[in-house]
Structure 1
Amino acid sequence: MDFEFKEEQLQLADALKRWIARDYGFETRREIVQSEAGQSDRAWATLAELGLTALPVPEAQGGFAGDAVDMFVVMQELGRGLVVEPYFATVLGAEFLRLGGGHGGLLERVAAGDLKLACALGERQSRHDMRDIEMRATSAAPDGDGWLLNGEKKVVLHGAQAAVLIVSSRSGGAQRDEDGITLFAVPADAPGVHITGYRMLDGQRAADVRFDGARVGADALIGQPGAGWSVLEAALDYGAGLLCAEAVGVMDALFAATLDYLKTRQQFGVPIGKFQALQHRMADMYIHLEQARSMALLAAVRLRSANGDEGRAAERRQAVSAAKYRVGQAARFVGQQAVQLHGGMGVTDELPAAHYFKRLTTIELTLGDADHHLARFMAQPGFTGLAA
């Protein structure tokens, strides 16, 4: 299998890397994180100018129809730069709209950089199981056309920064059934929608969103009523694949920062990087990083091949869960080793290493942790377990 990137992909990565180095340094990022908005409109405009908001959008809606491998390149660089703008939340929401169909106008606004999205999927009891939905969607008739939404969503990434929320709800079936799930694109300012934003461990923003009889029209539907699971699962796999790519970029940057620290920190008159025991630990970190990179790239290739094709869904599930598990393991190992090698400075807010570690920790817990994806991988058809 060819794992070489195209020239256009490398050029995009290089342009993004130059912008981050020039205009999105560590201190600039800290100022953005500590601001009231938690994001920079200027940075978002630059992402749109670079074509990143249009990259995953179909050509019919003004985008470039970029696939999962194209997005791997982008997310890796955003991870290296610890970019906190709501790019991941928006492109994940765009994937819901693309898979569900019928929302060309919203996708056009995403491509132009005029619309930020957020995905309101998880609930208090659901943890990593996105089938576990208590939120209800009921027909608004005879009072009128459309639907009424009641329930609450937790830890909605960039929920307070989004203009439209992609919402999962239950219009039928039991609480954890795959049947009966209905998806909606809900304006964040719709009556009955209450958003409480906050800052997370890694500096990015999230929100809890409560729906108290929020009314949406029939045009808010994504896909067909009660048949949203296939779209939901495919989009979640896409999002998990993007997070794996971002984590690889974060680990890349953290490994480089740790190596630089070992070359400059002096002990007993020599750089501590001269000590063989520390060299062995760096070698172990590198092995974990490269294994994670390989698995994340394989997941991107499988996502590109599947591209919403239900006939290749099993292949997609296996690759994504394997990658999320391996990347989660590597993120924990690389992060913990880096903090220890930095010593007490490794957990201070003034040093980038602490911020990289926090982001890796958050990624590992987003859209299913390592344990969740290991169990999901083992549940796939054809898995026979380890030989005795």
Structure 2
Amino acid sequence: MGSRLTEEQAAFAAAVRDFAKRECGTREQRDALTGGGREAHHPELYRRLADLGWLGVCLPEEYGGAGGGTADACLFLEETSYGMVPCGGFITTVITAKAYERFGTERQRREVLSGVVRGDVLAIAMSEPGAGSDVGALRSRARRERDGTWTIDGQKTWISNAHCAESILLVARTGEDKHGGLTMFHLPAGTPGVEIRGIETMRGREVNDVYLTDVRLPADAVVGEVNGGWKQLMAGLNHERLFLAANMLGLARRAFDDAVGYVREREQFGRPVGSFQALRHRVADLATEIECTRLLVREVAQDCDAQPDKLFPREASMAKLKATELAKQVTLEGMQMMGGYGYTTEFEMERHLRAAVVSTVYGGTSEIQRDVIGKTYGL
């Protein structure tokens, strides 16, 4: 399948770009919305995106969504990232929403997916202090009581957007088998026994520790099958990795354009520094890599839409690996091309770098992606 956009998709991307330019087009606007770059999510602006119908871009129409596909969601993520729209809650929301769409009960889907369309934020809690890349090693435990309810104890860490989420999709251990003993649970915000503590990072508050102490959930809080959580997680990897890739593709494009804008204007030795061969060739290489990555991400997204029941472990991991490593490369080289100004908060390249470097860690590290790709070749 070709990677060109349909007329409808092109119009949608243009509308998102126009919104970003109007609402976040200046440094002053972006600083006001993000507390000087420390907050990745602005609730009021997010609700406006919901009012436009964009947050349900890839959710079924029966729950208020637009009925689009993976490619449409990737377009939205790419353009909002490029436009620096502070809607950081969307990426965990759309990843989590797809799990509810695929495995949730009808009641869960109506409650959660309809809420997403209206502007609710979702989070997913897998990682623990002793279980990161090795999700099967998690120890948070859910015990089924005699009345069918569940009691959950444990700790989750690095949970993106838990502090602003209306609900968390929690993965807990319900059996002894490493992979066959995991179960997903619907955990509403404000449930007694849940404590959320922010973790300070270079990007401000975006991730959290989540402490679970005698948390009681009803019998129907299970999402999917008891002890079926691992298979359900694996079924969602196409979406998770592609959405992360699209987000970083947008960031790479933005950092590239910012760097090119700078080297066009900055003069040394009587001419713009971008006219020197050393920088001109660097710009050419980065532009080529961005275009290759764009084609890869869009092609895989379209393949996923064409075959929604098929897993694309190799291709999705390639997209995530390529886009996140590219974003890191572009921001680092952008800093180098800008010299000392690239390190100052006067320009936004340092903000781009802080967003890019962590992308090669979350959602499966680059090393894990390479391992997945290698295994698909029988290695």
TM-score (norm 2): 0.93
Residues 1:225 and 2:221 aligned together: no
| Residue among 123, 136, 143 paired with 1:138 | 143
Which deviates the most, 258-267 or 37-46? Answer: 37-46
Give CA-to-partner distance per residue, 1:294-317, whole Å, 9 cap, x none: 22223312332342x2xx22xx11
Deviation (angstroms), 1:38: 5.8
Q: In 2, Cα distance between the equivalents of 1:344 and 1:263? A: 16
Structure 1 unaligned segments of length 5 or more: list them: none
Q: In 1, Cα distance between the equivalents of 2:362 and 2:213? A: 26
Residues 1:72 and 2:74 aligned together: yes
Tell me the amino acid that sits aligned with residue 86 of structure 2. V
What corresponds to 2:154 in structure 1? 151
What corresponds to 2:24 in structure 1? 24
Which deviates the most, 60-69 or 263-272? Answer: 60-69
Q: In 1, Cα distance between the equivalents of 2:195 and 2:127? A: 16
Mapped contact 2:317–2:369 kept (Cα < 8 A): yes
What corresponds to 1:118 in structure 2? 123
Give CA-to-partner distance per residue, 1:357-381, whole Å, 9 cap, x none: 221112222101211100011112x
Give CA-to-partner distance per residue, 1:14-52, whole Å, 9 cap, x none: 111111111123332223332897632321122102212
Local SS of the residue matching 1:155 = coil
Identity of aligned residues (%): 27
What corresponds to 1:256 in structure 2? 257
What corresponds to 2:295 in structure 1? 294
What corresponds to 2:352 in structure 1? 356
Q: In 2, Cα distance between the equivalents of 1:101 and 1:61? A: 13
Which deviates the most, 18-27 or 72-81? Answer: 18-27
Local SS of the residue matching 1:5 = coil
Cα RMSD (Å) of the superposition? 1.8
| Residue among 129, 132, 141 paired with 1:127 | 132
Give CA-to-partner distance per residue, 1:340-367, whole Å, 9 cap, x none: 0011111222212111222111222210
Local SS of the residue matching 2:158 = strand
Mapped contact 2:237–2:313 kept (Cα < 8 A): no
What corresponds to 1:9 in structure 2? 9
Tell me the amino acid that sits aligned with residue 249 of structure 2. V
Tell me the amino acid that sits aligned with residue 223 of structure 1. G
After TM superposition, list the pairs within 5 Å mapping 1:38-49 onto structure 2: 39-49=41-51
Q: In 1, Cα distance between the equivalents of 2:292 and 2:136? A: 30
Mapped contact 2:39–2:205 kept (Cα < 8 A): no
Local SS of the residue matching 1:160 = helix
Mapped contact 1:136–1:169 kept (Cα < 8 A): yes
Give CA-to-partner distance per residue, 1:231-279, whole Å, 9 cap, x none: 2122243121101011111111111111111110010111001101111
Q: In 2, Cα distance between the equivalents of 1:358 and 1:37? A: 13
Deviation (angstroms), 1:130: 2.7
Mapped contact 1:236–1:367 kept (Cα < 8 A): no
Local SS of the residue matching 2:184 = strand
Residues 1:246 and 2:247 aligned together: yes
Local SS of the residue matching 1:82 = coil
What corresponds to 1:277 in structure 2? 278
> Are the structure 2 counterparts of residues 384 and 91 from structure 1 closer, same or farther at C-alpha, using a change threshold of 3 Å?
closer
Q: How many residues align?
A: 373
| Residue among 58, 82, 100 paired with 1:97 | 100
Tell me the amino acid that sits aligned with residue 58 of structure 2. P
What corresponds to 2:52 in structure 1? 50
What corresponds to 1:339 in structure 2? 335
Tell me the amino acid that sits aligned with residue 43 of structure 1. L
Q: In 2, Cα distance between the equivalents of 1:305 and 1:189? A: 39
Mapped contact 1:252–1:289 kept (Cα < 8 A): yes
Deviation (angstroms), 1:157: 0.7
Give CA-to-partner distance per residue, 1:156-178, whole Å, 9 cap, x none: 1111001100111110124xx22
Structure 2 unaligned segments of length 5 or more: list them: none
Deviation (angstroms), 1:204: 5.7
Q: In 2, Cα distance between the equivalents of 1:209 and 1:49? A: 30
> Are the structure 2 counterparts of residues 37 and 352 from structure 1 closer, same or farther at C-alpha, using a change threshold of 3 Å?
closer
Q: In 2, Cα distance between the equivalents of 1:215 and 1:196? A: 20
| Residue among 364, 373, 377 paired with 1:377 | 373
Q: In 1, Cα distance between the equivalents of 2:125 and 2:219? A: 19
Mapped contact 2:258–2:349 kept (Cα < 8 A): yes
Q: In 2, Cα distance between the equivalents of 1:268 and 1:68? A: 48
Q: In 1, Cα distance between the equivalents of 2:135 and 2:31? A: 32
Mapped contact 1:140–1:215 kept (Cα < 8 A): no
Local SS of the residue matching 2:113 = helix
Q: In 1, Cα distance between the equivalents of 2:235 and 2:337? A: 39
| Residue among 58, 61, 83 paired with 1:59 | 61
Deviation (angstroms), 1:99: 1.3
